[in-house]
């Protein structure tokens, strides 16, 4: 990897470690409702499953999956500030027994304790 690539990686993750970015996304009601409805209208796919939420941010999709019946959700995000916020939100919603936050890049995880059945992600990228 060259230093320019590392710099872009750092810039990418630093930009998502700001609460304001996530607040803006959460205020986008049509977007949040679309994700909510997609998961809740397909509860049968999530019941008793293990879910991996890649780039989980505040944990909104992880919480939807847990409320849809997932037995365990791995919420993986590389941004420490947002992982701390997600932990608080997950606890406030009483879902800490089913949502496990992992503050790492998904590429850094060798294996999970349980086999993953479903992968969800709200992919955000740079141009």
List the chain pLDDT tens, one digit each, 127 residues. Answer: 444 555 555 555 555 555 555 566 656 787 788 889 999 999 999 999 999 999 888 999 999 999 999 999 999 998 888 999 999 999 999 999 999 999 998 999 999 999 999 999 986 555 4
CB within 8 A of 123, min separation 6: which ones? Answer: 54, 55
pLDDT of residue 34: 87
The confidence score (pLDDT) of residue 73 equals 98
- Look up tokens 């949502």; give the residue: 99
Determine the Cα–Cα distance for residues 50 and 28; give it in Å rounded to an integer. 27
Cα 25 to Cα 61: distance, rounded to the nearest angstrom: 12
Q: Measured between alpha carbons, how far is residue 18 from residues 11, 14, 57 in Å? A: 12, 7, 10
What residues have CB less than 8 Å from 112, skipping those under 6 apart? 50, 52, 74
The pLDDT, as a whole number, for residue 29 is 80
Question: Which residue segments constitute the domains of the chain, with CATH numbers given?
Answer: 3-121 (3.40.50.150)
For position 125, what pLDDT does the model report? 53
């Amino acid at each position: 990897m060259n230093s320019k690539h590392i710099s872009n990686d750092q810039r990418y993750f630093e930009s998502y470690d700001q609460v304001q970015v996530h607040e803006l996304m959460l205020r986008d009601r049509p977007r949040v409702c679309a994700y909510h409805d997609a998961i809740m209208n397909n509860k049968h796919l999530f019941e008793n499953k293990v879910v991996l939420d890649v780039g989980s941010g505040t944990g909104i999709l992880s919480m939807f999956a847990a409320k849809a019946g997932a037995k365990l959700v791995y919420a993986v995000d590389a941004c420490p500030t947002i992982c701390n916020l997600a932990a608080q939100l997950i606890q406030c919603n009483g879902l800490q027994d089913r949502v496990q936050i992992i503050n790492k890049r998904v590429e850094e995880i060798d294996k999970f304790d349980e086999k993953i059945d479903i992968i969800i992600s709200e992919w955000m990228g740079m141009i």
